[in-house]
Amino acid sequence: MRPVINYDELLKRIPYKFAIPIAAAKRAENLKEFAKPYVETWDNNYVSIALKELSEGYIRIKNEEILKVLIPNVK
């Protein structure tokens, strides 16, 4: 059975829904360019590895202050 990355749980840790795929894509690019992965996945897909690293806290988004602009101001 394939492990599933729960996006809702990931949103609890990183409340910027638009930043998660951007961070995962950047990390996947780094992995493709021979960066060492911190975790293993069943399929060894770079994006799967990046999302799992984000969800397990191995990588994080550095400048969260800039990302606060992405949170909508709903009244």
The answer to the question of residue 74 being in a domain is: no
Predicted confidence pLDDT, tens digits, the chain (75 residues): 466 788 888 888 887 788 888 889 999 999 999 999 999 888 889 999 999 999 888 988 777 666 666 666 666
The CATH number that applies at residue 44 is 3.90.940.10
The answer to the question of residue 40 being in a domain is: yes
Alpha-carbon distances, residue 74 vs 5, 10, 17, 19 (angstroms): 28, 22, 15, 19
Three-state secondary structure readout of the chain: CCCCCCHHHHHHHCCCCCHHHHHHHHHHHHHHCCCCCCCCCCCCCHHHHHHHHHHHCCCCCCCHHHHHHHCCCCC
Residue-range definition of the domain harbouring residue 13: 7-69
The answer to the question of residue 1 being in a domain is: no
The answer to the question of residue 45 being in a domain is: yes
The answer to the question of residue 47 being in a domain is: yes
The answer to the question of residue 2 being in a domain is: no
Number of domains, the chain: 1
pTM to 2 decimal places: 0.76
Q: Structure tokens of 12?
A: 């609890």
